[in-house]
Structure 1
Amino acid sequence: MESSDPNFNRFLHQLQAESQRQKFAEQVHTLTNRCWDVCFTDYRPPSKLDTKTQTCLSNCVNRMVDASNFMVEHLQKMDKNNLV
């Protein structure tokens, strides 16, 4: 949806960038909430994270990122196949 108006094009690019930033922030929020629920059985965090909790958080985030990447790749492949 490019226009001959450079200001409009700049606005569209800024809007897309802001939308991507918002989606990223939502993803981080979702990851934080889910991993918090999984790794902290008590809703009050300890004063210091123990090794077990650190490992849990790391594994949780890594699995969520892996799942997210898998879904993005899968959707891109589907999209690519639909264009052919």
Structure 2
Amino acid sequence: MTRELYSLAPTYRAVATLHAPVEAVAGRLGTVPADLELIDEHNSRLRSGADTLEWLALRLAMLGCEFEVHEPPELAAYLRALGARVTRAAGDGS
């Protein structure tokens, strides 16, 4: 039974500051469980889990606001690599 419960736990737990009010992002989180807390009228904190870094990164990117990742460090590294790939894919703008 314990093994089954651990298999349901997310592999990664993310903590990020979202530079948007709670009301602006709450509806964008969908049905995936997450904790969203008020920091102030312009910022909120998201605590969320997922099985992959890719899912966490895409989830944050799709919120449509600026954000800062506090945990895990692997997520921040993944986002840097993803950002570099996206920038290269977009070309130099000429």
Given the two structures, how large is their TM-score scaled by the length of structure 1?
0.30
Which structure has more relative contact order (CA 8 Å, sep 6+)? It is 2
| Structure with the largest fraction of helix | 1
- TM-score, reference length from structure 2: 0.28
Structure with the larger strand share: 2
Computing the radius of gyration over CA atoms, which structure comes out larger, 1 or 2? Answer: 1
